[in-house]
Amino acid sequence: MIGHSMLLRRGLLLGTCMTWAWAVGCTARPDRQATPFPATQEVAEWVRTGDVRTFPAADLWKYIDGEAERYLKAGVRSVSTADYRFRDKLDAVVDIYSMDSKSGGEKIMESEPAAGAETVRLGDGGRLFDQSMVFRKGPYLVRITAYESSPATPPALLALARGVELRLKP
């Protein structure tokens, strides 16, 4: 009888441990893809310096006054934005526009001059300038703008853009 009692306790303990392990393993955790904005140091030497801010289409004018109408005509749903700093020297802002469809980002990019840009293979198409980077992927248009320019700016912006592109859901 002692052997049976010991076996029963071990079985209960094992069952309890397995249930606990299953519950911990299946608990919803923040997904790495939950935000398209890379975390600090996820892209080498880039630090996110503030919170992500989001503006729905109806409030777009509060963020890009003067340009909002063009984005609304292209089918923007919202824009999310975050500030970054590279090597404590270069400040930049990342804007991610969520569009109704893939064609929205195309419309915006086609309406902007490409003079002085390097075509970059990123997402569905991208352009790299001395002080900014713009690319589109699926229903997203991403614009990264630096507040100053140096020889290190374009490669730094491209690295940050690649980090964002990896996080965008298709």
Give the number of domains in the chain: 2
Residue-number span of the structural domain to which 11 is assigned: 1-30
Length of the chain: 170
Q: What is the pLDDT of residue 3?
A: 56
Smallest CA-to-CA distance from 146 within 134, 164, 137, 135 is with 134
**What is the C-alpha to C-alpha distance for residues 138 and 22, in angstroms, rounded to an integer?**
36
* SS3 call for 104: helix
> Is a pLDDT exceeding 50 seen at residue 23?
no
Task: Answer yes or no: do 88 and 6 share one domain.
Answer: no
Q: 131-153 pLDDT, tens per residue?
A: 999 999 999 999 999 999 999 99
Q: What kind and span of H or E run contains 102?
A: helix 102-110
CATH number for the domain spanning 151: value is 3.40.1000
**What does pTM read for this prediction?**
0.80
Task: Answer yes or no: do 24 and 59 share one domain.
Answer: no
> Is a pLDDT exceeding 90 seen at residue 55?
yes
> Token digits for 153?
């700016």
Task: Answer yes or no: do 91 and 121 share one domain.
Answer: yes
